[in-house]
Amino acid sequence: MIMHDYSRLAGGAAIGARLRRLSESLDGDSTRVYAALGISFEQRWFGVLNQLALRESATVGELAATLKITHVSVSQTRQSLEKAGIVTSESDPEDARKKKITLTAEGKRLVAQLRPIWLACDEAARELNAEAGDVVASLNRLDDALERQSIFDRIMVRIARR
């Protein structure tokens, strides 16, 4: 039986499936790198941990805005990082509803260990992007198109026409 690649054959109609597959592939390979180097690190931690490495502290809201992900996602990552002893959080003195997240001493040691790996990841990603014909520029255009009109709104317009 010949297996077909649905998401390639479907083209733009399967853009979500294609992006998920590519994301899983990239994240899976990154996870394999950490495992091969004997480092206990979850790829989903990267965005939050990298932002905390760049600044002294941040709130869930600040991280969500910077990373353009949901507060829920940042909160779940924070909880996972806290459980691993990598970050700590305390109420913001200016607004008790907000929690300031900071790296622990263990978190700072982990970041120092990860920096050369992240540099290698950055270099490999730049190489891959160049080989693929600057896919990042295409993703930027996709982001911009979705900001102009979400896929939800695009679908609902089509349904309403029927």
- Segment 135-162, tens digit of pLDDT: 999 999 999 999 999 999 999 999 999 8
pLDDT at 133 over 90: yes
Task: Express each pLDDT in 44-102 by its tens digit.
Answer: 999 999 999 999 899 999 999 999 999 999 999 999 999 999 999 988 777 777 889 99
With beta carbons less than 8 A apart as the criterion, state whether 53 and 64 touch. Answer: no
Residue 8 predicted with pLDDT over 90 = no
DSSP symbols for 126-152: HHHHHHTT-HHHHHHHHHHHHHHS-HH
The pLDDT of residue 1: 56
Could you give the CA distance from residue 52 to residue 147 in angstroms, rounded to a whole number? Answer: 27
Which tens digits make up the pLDDT trace of 10-36? Answer: 778 889 989 999 999 999 999 999 999
Gap between the Cα atoms of 69 and 26, Å rounded:
18
Cα–Cα distance for residue pair 47/28, rounded to 1 Å: 16
Q: Is the pLDDT of residue 6 over 70?
A: yes
Instruction: List the structure tokens of 32.
Output: 């394999």
Counts of helices then strands in the chain (DSSP H, E): 8, 3
